[in-house]
Amino acid sequence: MSNPMTVIVIFGVTGDLTRRKLIPSLFRNFVKARLPRELKIVGVGRREWTDETLIDHAYDALREFSGADIDGAAWNCFKATLSYCKVNLPQPATYQNLKHHLDCLDDGSCNRLYYLSIAPEFYEDVVTNLGRLDMARENGGWRRIVIEKPFGYDLNSAHSLNEAVHSVFDESQVYRIDHYLGKETAQNILFMRFANTIFEPIWNRSHISNVQVTVAETVDVGTRAGYYDNSGVMRDMVQNHLLQLLSLIAMEPPSSFDGNALRNEKVKVLQATRPVRLCDTVRAQYDGYCRADGVAPDSTTPTYAAVRLFIDNWRWKDIPFYLRSGKALRSKTTQVNIQFKRPPNSIFELAASGDLSRNMLSICIQPDEGMHMTIQAKIPDQQIAKTVDMELHYEDAFVADNLPDAYERLLLDAINGDAALFIRSDEIESAWQIVDPIIEGWERDPAAPPMQSYPVGSWGPGAADDLLDREEHIWRVSCFEHGA
């Protein structure tokens, strides 16, 4: 029997994400022969495009973003999979076009992946209309839906969106994306923790002093003010990317790599997170944010946040987890730094003044992907200890290829039905439960810490350093000089 056809339907095919990420990632998977042999890709948009327009658009996207020469033979086969269908998302009648288009491609028993790469206000329209035309029902082939972030604007809206999605798709058919989970080094957190024996025995409050997650960006709000000024850093970054990294670091070992086993443990971390006190938060705007195109001149949207939180369980009770993220900062870097406790007693002289340093394990998610571990070593010919670095750079250890883009992995996993790196409905709601009170407190509570400002190209406001200083901790950025 021949393989069933797989049809990937991209809603929002004319958009930026499709051009930058989806088309290049699909093509790279295609070249690596990882996609199903019988494949069709249907681009959905509201513009008056033809199949040829889509093909030209896809070729331009590859030239601009694929990062490699385009293999001519592969392209010829790939372009034969592409077709375009016009749908006006809020208009139910136009979904008939899509149904007809898809019915002409196969006999209905194919597999279908619906990918929502569209503005979030249309998620519900698309889901409802797919349901209305019975396009989510599995009769022979599977039906899956991939939903981009942001998933909801707060807990209430995320909950109603979950309800709308569940009225058409079963949770097992739903793949909510957080592209940070597709990053190789984010996945490596799991390999590091659970494919080695040396870390797990010390991965707890007895040995770890504090954990820091930094997601720093050099870009400013750019052309995205329309979206960003309504969202801010808590919704844009902390609710999803930072809390996901946190749960990978803090979760208990799952019994297998199965999607639900893994997500059961991640969700427990979020649910065990103690409500964050406003005095454990810092919010700030980079200088000039309110003058950016599309930003309200009196905007109170934070472009930077730092948060100290605690996970109330046996492993982590009272160990601070510090999260920070911001735009227009000095370096683009995402890393997790785990600081261990100091040796209880020092019998050595030190190269620098102070106590013996804490060992620190840094996981560099990007760029310069790798791991660093600081240890104390003896300076040759002297009885003095000095901090030195043990390093693993992905580039040196795995020379063969460039690291695949996160979307390459995630698209493949969705096609293969592996939901481990996607967010489950309870996870998304638990994450909102953590950030909602902070955002509300900032907006309404007169006792909330005031908005700070920070210079473009700095490491953020001084108040974020003070947050750690209370316990004599200090932000560590090991892959880069921390110039603060």
CB burial readout 179-218, b (16+ within 10 A) else e: bbbbbbbbbbbbebeeeeeeeeeebeeeebbbbbbbbbbe
Comparing every residue's Cβ against ligand BG6, the nearest one is 236
Helix ranges (DSSP H) in 195-297: 225-233, 243-250, 259-271
Beta bridge partners of 111: 6
Among residues 71, 217, 220, 252, which is the contact residue for ligand BG6, using CB under 6 A? 217
Shortest Å distance, C-beta 156 to ligand BG6? 21
Choice between 21 and 424, CB closer to ligand BG6: 21
Question: Which residues in the 130-149 window bind ligand BG6 by CB under 6 A?
Answer: 149
Shortest Å distance, C-beta 394 to ligand BG6? 16
Taken in order 87, 90, 94, 100, the sign of the CA dihedral is: positive
Helix ranges (DSSP H) in 40-177: 51-65, 72-79, 95-105, 123-132, 155-166
482 is catalytic: no
**Measured distance CA(111)–CA(429) in Å, rounded:** 29
Taken in order 411, 414, 419, 422, the sign of the CA dihedral is: positive
Choice between 12 and 320, CB closer to ligand BG6: 12
Shortest Å distance, C-beta 222 to ligand BG6? 9
Choice between 183 and 476, CB closer to ligand BG6: 183
**Measured distance CA(346)–CA(433) in Å, rounded:** 43
Interaction between residue 236 and ligand BG6 (CB under 6 A): yes
Taken in order 12, 14, 20, 24, the sign of the CA dihedral is: positive
With CB under 6 A, what is the number of residues at the site for ligand BG6?
Answer: 4
Choice between 332 and 342, CB closer to ligand BG6: 332
Shortest Å distance, C-beta 231 to ligand BG6? 8
Interaction between residue 184 and ligand BG6 (CB under 6 A): no
Q: Are 122 and 79 in contact (CB under 8 A)?
A: no
Choice between 25 and 334, CB closer to ligand BG6: 334
Options 57, 241, 372, 473, the catalytic residue: 241
One symbol per residue from 370 to 409: x for binding ligand BG6 (CB under 6 A), - otherwise; what is it?
A: ----------------------------------------
Of 154, 430, 438, 153, which Cα lies nearest the Cα of 281? 438
Choice between 150 and 461, CB closer to ligand BG6: 150
Shortest Å distance, C-beta 243 to ligand BG6? 13
Shortest Å distance, C-beta 188 to ligand BG6? 16
Q: Are 9 and 115 in contact (CB under 8 A)?
A: yes
Choice between 278 and 403, CB closer to ligand BG6: 403
Shortest Å distance, C-beta 241 to ligand BG6? 6
In terms of Cβ atoms closer than 10 Å to its own Cβ (0-12, 13-18, 19+), residue 255 is exposed
Report CA Rg, the chain. Answer: 24
**Measured distance CA(402)–CA(103) in Å, rounded:** 39
Q: Are 331 and 480 in contact (CB under 8 A)?
A: yes
Catalytic residues: 241
Chain contacts with ligand BG6 (rule: CB under 6 A): 149, 217, 236, 334
